[in-house]
């Protein structure tokens, strides 16, 4: 079948995410037949460089043979078993290895299927912990301006993106929002945010946790902030007996230049939320990791004190085995060090964009690049996306913010191609 036939069938049957479906009357919907490495292929043989890792999930390229082989082996043994009352090798090994990655500080893993589920689990765990400790009034949450933690109702309560949240306002219990430490605004932004945090905690004993995305607020437009802010926020939360929830759903697994982003602040959060890259983009999986003393608050003869949250596919054996293969690749190929060694070359390749007069706030951290486009106009993101796709690159701006978040296996030549297409798309999207 042709691209057009698959497109028509999809529009007739599929409700696509994060999309105003009417836009697809003019905005291209790309039917993908197969993928390999950093490339997506349509049904007519054209290929497209996946510059956003298929929504930030793909770490080592599509169809990586080691992950494929691990899944093939697992398929022949166990595809899934309920994790209530049962266990299996892949989930045990994965939990042990993730704990070792935190130096053993976070000792237990609770599994879900997606990032929003991880947020829900962490929020519920925090509030339930305080209830079990005899402090049920501690049920308020704090979040940063521009934060994004998912789109289920609990997650929307700590998400500060009106476009996603406002339609469901009557259903949501809103968090208190602190100023963002956005480094584009200068050091005073972080200082103001920390002052607001301390001010609120000093006058409110009802806060259960502060939730934040360490170092990069991705959906806010790749907002970067200094690790020193995270370190100080952790110190303040500890002083006032408030949990710190680190949402590393988008920024974990090397995206910011360290395996976990919070490592750069020299801290360990009370809860760590992981998803997206955990399986290398092969299967849905999320996990919340927490400290043994928090786990211990639920350990009791009374079932009501237990954490009864559940998903049918919790700890799915195939997804856990894919995650183990991802961890194997990090260790075997020393991925963090390899990515760091490439930075000077990739920075040099991106230099023409950085020097472009239309570009503002060009920034880079780890394997994330971002910049704003001056005078971009209201429909800039759609025009840029369409122009880049027509030239063979998948890029999906967030408002006026263009970003690159490619798979780690992208070659220098492929990175240069992505930069060149981005500049051509700028020409078209900012022109008459």
In the DSSP assignment, the letter for residue 331 is H
CB 259 within 8 A of CB 336: yes
In the DSSP assignment, the letter for residue 208 is E
The encoded tokens of residue 428 equal: 């078209």
In the DSSP assignment, the letter for residue 206 is -
Helix (H, G, I), strand (E, B) or coil at 35: strand
Write phi, then psi, for 34 (nearest 5 degrees): -155, 170
Q: Residue 185's pLDDT is what?
A: 94
E strand segments, 317-424: 359-365, 368-373, 393-394, 401-404
Calpha distance 237→420 (Å, rounded): 45
Tens-digit pLDDT profile for residues 182-202: 999 999 999 999 999 999 999
Compute how many other C-beta atoms are within 10 angstroms of the C-beta atom of residue 321: 29
B/e letters for 109-119, b = 16+ CB within 10 Å, e = fewer, are bbbbbbbbbbb
pLDDT means per 10 residues, the chain with 432 residues, are: 88 89 83 97 96 98 98 98 97 98 97 97 98 98 97 96 92 96 96 98 98 97 98 98 98 98 98 98 98 97 95 96 98 98 96 96 97 84 94 96 98 98 96 78
Helix (H, G, I), strand (E, B) or coil at 282: coil
> Which single residue is written with the structure tokens 């945090």?
197
Calpha distance 141→247 (Å, rounded): 14
B/e letters for 221-260, b = 16+ CB within 10 Å, e = fewer, are bbbbbbbebbebbbebbeeeebbbbbbbbbbbbbbbbbbb
CB 212 within 8 A of CB 267: no
The encoded tokens of residue 411 equal: 């070659």
Calpha distance 89→314 (Å, rounded): 14
Helix (H, G, I), strand (E, B) or coil at 336: helix
Q: At what angle do helices 317-333 and 65-75 cross, to 10 degrees?
A: 150
The encoded tokens of residue 33 equal: 């037949």
> With left for phi above 0 and alpha for psi between -120 and 50, is residue 241 left, alpha or beta?
left
Domains of the chain: 32-63+334-429 (3.90.1150.10), 67-333 (3.40.640.10)
Calpha distance 262→283 (Å, rounded): 25
Calpha distance 51→421 (Å, rounded): 11
330 CB contacts (<8 Å, ≥6 apart)?
253, 254, 259, 336
Q: Residue 140's pLDDT is what?
A: 98
The two beta strands, 106-112 and 286-291, are antiparallel
Q: What DSSP line would sit under 42-63, residue for residue?
A: -TTS-EEEETTHHHHT-SS-BT
E strand segments, 77-206: 106-112, 140-144, 176-178
Helix (H, G, I), strand (E, B) or coil at 392: coil
């Amino acid at each position: 079948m042709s691209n057009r036939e698959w497109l028509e069938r999809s529009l007739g049957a599929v409700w696509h995410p994060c999309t105003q479906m009417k836009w697809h009357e003019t905005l291209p919907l790309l039917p993908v037949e197969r993928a390999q490495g950093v490339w997506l292929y349509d049904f007519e043989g054209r290929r497209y460089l996946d510059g956003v890792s298929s929504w930030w999930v793909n770490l080592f390229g599509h169809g990586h043979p080691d992950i494929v082989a691990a899944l093939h082996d697992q398929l022949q043994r166990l595809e899934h078993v309920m994790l209530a009352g049962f266990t299996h090798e892949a989930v045990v090994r994965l939990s042990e290895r993730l704990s070792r990655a935190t130096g053993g500080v976070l000792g237990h893993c609770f599994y879900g299927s997606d990032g929003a589920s991880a947020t829900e689990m962490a929020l519920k765990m925090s509030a339930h912990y305080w209830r079990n400790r005899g402090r049920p009034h501690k049920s308020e949450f704090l979040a940063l301006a521009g934060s994004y933690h998912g789109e289920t109702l609990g997650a929307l309560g700590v998400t500060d993106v009106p476009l996603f949240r406002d339609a469901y306002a009557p259903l949501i219990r809103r968090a208190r929002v602190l100023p963002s430490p956005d480094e584009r605004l200068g050091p005073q932004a972080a200082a103001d945010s920390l002052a607001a945090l301390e001010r609120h905690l000093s006058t409110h004993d009802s806060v259960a946790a502060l939730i934040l995305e360490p170092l990069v607020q991705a959906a806010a437009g790749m907002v970067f902030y200094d690790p020193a802010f995270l370190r100080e926020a952790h110190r303040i939360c500890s002083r006032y007996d408030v949990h710190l929830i680190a949402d590393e759903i988008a920024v974990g697994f090397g995206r910011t230049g360290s395996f976990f982003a919070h490592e750069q602040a020299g801290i360990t959060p009370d809860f760590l939320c992981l998803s997206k890259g955990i399986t290398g983009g092969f299967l849905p999986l999320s996990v919340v990791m927490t400290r043994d003393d928090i786990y211990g608050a639920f350990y009791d003869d009374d079932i009501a004190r237990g954490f009864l949250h559940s998903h049918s596919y919790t700890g799915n054996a195939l997804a856990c085995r894919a995650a183990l293969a991802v961890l194997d690749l990090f260790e075997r190929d020393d991925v963090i060090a390899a990515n760091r060694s490439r930075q000077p070359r990739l920075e040099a390749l991106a230099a023409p964009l950085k020097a472009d007069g239309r570009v503002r706030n060009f920034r880079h951290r780890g394997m994330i690049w971002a910049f704003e486009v001056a005078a971009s106009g209201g429909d800039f993101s759609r025009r840029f996306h369409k122009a880049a796709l027509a030239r063979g690159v998948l890029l999906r701006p967030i408002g006026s913010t263009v970003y690159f978040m490619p798979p780690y296996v992208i070659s220098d030549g492929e990175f240069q191609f992505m930069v060149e297409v981005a500049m051509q798309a700028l020409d078209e999207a900012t022109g008459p």
